[in-house]
Amino acid sequence: MGVTRRTVSPPAAPSSSTGVPALSAALNELLAVLAAARYPLVATAAEPASEASRTMVAQLRDYLLPRLGGLGAPLLVVVGGSTGAGKSTLVNSLVRAPVSQAGVLRPTTRAPVLVHHPADGRWFHERRLLPGFARTTGLNGGPGSLRLVAATGLTPGLALLDAPDIDSVVAANRELAEQLFAAADLWLFVTTAARYADAVPWSVLATARDRGTALAMVLDRVPADAQEELGEDLAAMLPERGLAAARLFLVPEAQLDGQGLLAEWLVQPMRAWFAGLAADPAIRAGLVRQTVGGAVAALVPAVAGLIDAAEEQITTATALRDSVHIAHADALATLDAAIGDGSVLRGEALDRWQEYVGTGQPGPGPGARLRDRFGATIAGRAGPAGRLRSSLSASLATVISAAVTRAEERVRAAWRGQPELGTQVPAADDPDTEAQHLVRLWQRWLLDQVRRDPWDEGLPTRSGYPATTAGLLVTIAVLAPPTSDAPGSPEADRADPATGGGAGAGLALLHSIRADETLRELAGRAGADLQRRLRELFDARSARFTGALAGVEVAVDQPERLRIAGHAVATASPVAVGRPVVPRQAAATSLPATEPST
C-alpha cells in the first residue's frame, strides 16, 4: 500500500471576514495537533517529520502566537552566524555597551542575551515571546534562560537577541540558535570575509528564504583592499540563492576599543537603518507582516509533508501487524497439517506404537481391563502403553514448539528494521516449556472426558476397550488418523506390511476406533479441543507483538487531523507575504578602513 500525497490549500487572500483572532485560533488548534502527533516507527519520512514537527511547535509557541497577540511589540532582530564571526562584538557595538560576552570560546551554559530599550522591558519580561525561557537580568544565566539587558543606546521599538553559533560544537547550542532564529521578526546574519562562501551559512539562510523571513546580512572583518571585490561577490550570490531582498552591510577589519567595541562610525549605517525601521510604525508593521505571513505560508507545505509521514506510519504499522498475523497463521496451518497427516507419529513414537500394537495389549476382550491396568507398569517400569503415551506427548510438544519458533523467527525478521519496537515485546516462556504444558493439559482433559463415559464404571465400549486404553487410542486417532499418510494408514501398510505386530494390525486398530461410535465422537471432540488450545497459544504469543505495536503506532485519524488543522490555518490566514519591505540597495554598504576626516 503506497502513501497517498495529501495537500493543504495555500493561505487565502485577506478578507473582511477573517482576521487575527481567527488565525490565532487556527494556529492554536494546529499547535495542539502537532504536539500530539507522533512518528515512532522507523520509516523514510519519520525522522524528518519528527524534526519538522518539533520546529513548527517551537515557532508557533515562541513566535507566531505571541506575535499575533502583540503586533505592537518591539521589532525583534536575532543576531546569528558562525563561530567567531563577531556577533556579540557587533551587538555590543550597536548598543555602545559590553552587554554580551564576546569571544570564540563560550561556556555551553551561556544564556542568549536579549537587549532592549528600557521603555520596552514589559514586552519581554512578561514572557509573551519565547515563553519557554526563564527570564534573568543577572550577568549569567543557566540553560533554558534568557538574559534581559536594558540599554539606552538602543532605539525604542527595537530589540537585539544575540544567538549561539549556528555551527557550534555543542549540539544544544545549534538547536538553540535554530529556535531563536524561528522567533525573529528579522535576521541579522553575520559572517566573515573568510567564511561567507561556506555551506553551513547558506544552508541556514535558505531557511530564512523558505520562511519568508526578513533578512539583513553583515560581512565582517573585510580587508580594506578587498571591500569592493568581496562585496560585489556576496551581493551577486544573494539573488542566486533567492535572497535578493536581503540588506547587506560590510564591516572592515578594525581594532576594538578598550571596551571591546567597534568604533561608532563603523556601525553607524546599521544603527541608522535599524532606527529607521523601529521609528516608522508602517515599516515596522509591514516587516512583521512579511515575516509572520511567510512563516504561516511555510506551515502549509510543511503540514502536507507531515500528512504523508503520518500515512506512511500507518502503512508501516499495518505491514508490521500483518507480518505477525501471517507468520502465526501460516505456522498454525502447518501444525494443523502435521497433526492431520500423522507426522507426529514418527521416529521413537512410531517405534513405541509398533511395540504397543505388537504386544496385543490394546486388543478387546474380557481381559482387556486387567491388561490395561497391569500392562502400565511392570516391575516399577513403564509398560508399552506408558512408553507410547510419553513418546506421543514428546513428539507432539516438539512439533508445536518448532511451529511457534518458526512463527516468531519470521516476525522478528520482518521487524528487524524496528529495533526499538522489538525491545517493547514482552518476554515469553520458552516454546518447549509452553508446548509441553499444553500437551499435559490436553491429555489431562482427555482423561477427564474418558472418565465421564460409561467405561469408567467398568462397562466396556462396544469394542470392549477399557478407560486408559481408550484414552490412548483416542490420542492415536487424533494424531494419526487412518485417513492420513501416517504409519498404520493403507499407504504405510502397503509400504511395510510387517512391523512388530504388523502395520496391518495398527491399521485395523485405528479402523476399529472409527467403527466405535463413542470413541469416534470422543476423538472428534479431542481434536477440536487440541485445535482450540493451539489457537489460544498462538494468539497469546502473537499478542505480545501486536500489543507492543499498539503501544507505539500512530492514531489512524492523525493524517486527517493534520489535514483539517492545516486547512484551517490556510483559510483563516489574512496575512499576505506581499512585497519585501527591506529592499536591498544597489550595492553593499561599504565603509572606509579609517575614520573619515571632519
Torsion 293-295-296-301 (CA) sign: positive
Q: What totals of helices (H) and strands (E) does the chain contain, helices first?
A: 20, 10
Do 372 and 302 share a structural domain? no
Q: Which three cell numbers stand for residue 512?
A: 476399529
208 domain-assigned? yes
Same domain, 103 and 197: yes
Rounded to an integer, what distance in angstroms lies between the CA atom of residue 21 and that of residue 9? 20
- Cell numbers given for 323: 507480518
> 299 and 349 share a domain?
no
Burial classification of residue 408, based on how many CB atoms lie within 10 Å of its CB (0-12 exposed, 13-18 middle, 19 or more buried): buried
Expressed as residue numbers, the domain containing 84 is: 36-309+568-572
Which CATH number does the domain housing residue 132 bear?
3.40.50.300
330 found inside a domain? no
Give yes or no: residues 269 and 124 share one domain: yes
Whether 352 is in a domain gets the answer yes
The secondary structure element, H or E, covering residue 504 is: helix 503-515
My answer on whether 277 and 359 are in the same domain is no
Contact assessment for residue 494 and residue 502, using Cβ atoms and an 8 Å cutoff: no
Judge whether 534 lies within some domain: yes
Q: Helix, strand or coil for residue 369?
A: helix
Residue 324 parent element (H or E) = helix 281-340
Residue 239 covered by a domain: yes
d(Cα 320, Cα 119) in Å, to the nearest integer? 59
Question: What is the reported pLDDT for 367?
Answer: 43
Query: Residue 12 CA to chain centroid, in angstroms?
Result: 33
Report the distance separating Cα 191 and Cα 249, nearest Å. Answer: 11
State whether 104 and 159 are in the same domain.
yes
How many Cβ atoms from other residues are within 10 Å of residue 201's Cβ? 22
DSSP assignments along 516-531, one per residue: SHHHHHHHHHHHHHHH
Identity of the residue numbered 429? D
Q: In the block, which residue shows the cell 560590510?
A: 250
Question: For residue 174, what are the CA distances in angstroms to 79, 579, 583?
Answer: 14, 31, 29
Inside any domain, residue 598: no
* pLDDT given at position 354: 78
Does residue 581 lie in a domain region?
A: no
Q: Are residues 506 and 381 in the same domain?
A: yes
Total tally of structural domains belonging to the chain: 2
Please tell me whether residues 302 and 353 are part of one structural domain: no
Whether 249 and 139 map to the same domain: the answer is yes
Q: C-alpha grid cell for residue 240?
A: 542566486
How big is the chain by its Cα radius of gyration, in Å? 40
Q: Which three cell numbers stand for residue 557?
A: 485519524
Give every residue of the chain whose pLDDT is below 70, as ranges: 1-18, 103-110, 140-141, 360-382, 453-467, 481-515, 574-598
- The whole-model pTM stands at 0.76
Q: For residue 529, how far is the Cα from the chain centroid?
A: 41
The pLDDT of residue 495 is 35
Query: Is 26 a domain residue?
Result: no
Q: Residue 219: left (phi > 0), alpha (psi -120 to 50), or beta? A: beta
| 346 shares a domain with 256 | no
For residue 89, give the amino acid letter. Answer: T
Residue 497, C-beta contacts closer than 8 angstroms, at least 6 positions apart: 503, 504
CA 3 – CA 102 distance, rounded (Å): 50
Report the pLDDT value the prediction gives residue 279, as an integer from 0 to 100.
87
Q: Are residues 305 and 375 in the same domain?
A: no
Unique residue bearing C-alpha cell 518539533: 54
The confidence score (pLDDT) of residue 110 equals 65
* Same-domain status, 412 and 515: yes
